[in-house]
Amino acid sequence: MKLHLYQVDAFTNHLFGGNPAAVIPLDQWISDSLMQRLAMENNLSETVFFVPSSKPDADYDIRWFTPASEINLCGHATLASAYVLFHVMGYSYPAIRFQSKSGILVVTRNLDKISMDFPAWKPEPVTTRPNELAAALGNISITSVHKHRDYLVEVADESIVQLCQPDFTLLKKLGHKIILTAKGNKADFVSRFFAPTVGIDEDPVTGSAHSQLIPYWAEKLGKKTLFARQLSKRGGEIWCEYIGERVTMAGQCVFFMKGEIDL
């Protein structure tokens, strides 16, 4: 069996920036164990698979795997999948409807960007902070902690986010994915994302985290349209909008390579 493999840098306008995703289009699903082994072999934060959908309200079914496990939502790999469909596979319609474990995700062409319609996950305050959280994040001073899927940890300044040096062994023991965020200087807000529990110490740019970040900062800043930066070493930019129960996030992509898997 031969499979096509594409690698795309998402949420960036230059090569070696943003978040690289491995994109593997399929005619029909292969086994879960094989998808997981391919993700482990690719050793990127996510490998994404999609197949033509048999459902009337979807064009493709989509699934995402880290090197360690399947996850329920991934922004950058969805963006990369849409880029491959629009620019490599000749998909000619203006919008793609992906059926996922987080429901229907609609992705559209938007001038030089691709825009994704995702669920809004409004995080709620955590009344009791995990005892080791501050220590696991390098003994930083924490302003507040909220949670939906992941812990959202706000700190007072962008520089704290930029300079944070987590203890990934302690973070893994906590058992949660961590979004570290602050009000931005040149962006509305900035963030970093740590997920050693699913085999990713730090994710370069994380669309799913922005399902929590967008409603959080929209309410805090009193504005619906926001610009965000993720402050990983590779860095990334996301144009955001909060529209009630949904959020939109738009970004650019750069094609890196194509290959063939021989199984």
- The position carrying tokens 């000619």 is 92
Q: Report how far residue 38's alpha carbon sits from residue 44's, in angstroms, rounded to the nearest whole number.
A: 10
Find out whether 103 and 89 touch, Cβ atoms under 8 Å.
no
Is 46 marked active-site? yes
β-pairing, 124-125 vs 253-262, is unpaired
- Calculate the CA 93 to chain-centre distance: 24
Active-site residue (options: 46, 154, 158, 237): 46
Range list of H helices, the chain: 32-42, 75-87, 133-136, 158-163, 168-174, 207-221
Q: Report how far residue 205's alpha carbon sits from residue 192's, in angstroms, rounded to the nearest whole number.
A: 8
C-alpha angle 248-250-252 in degrees, rounded to nearest 5: 165
| Residues labelled as active-site residues | 46
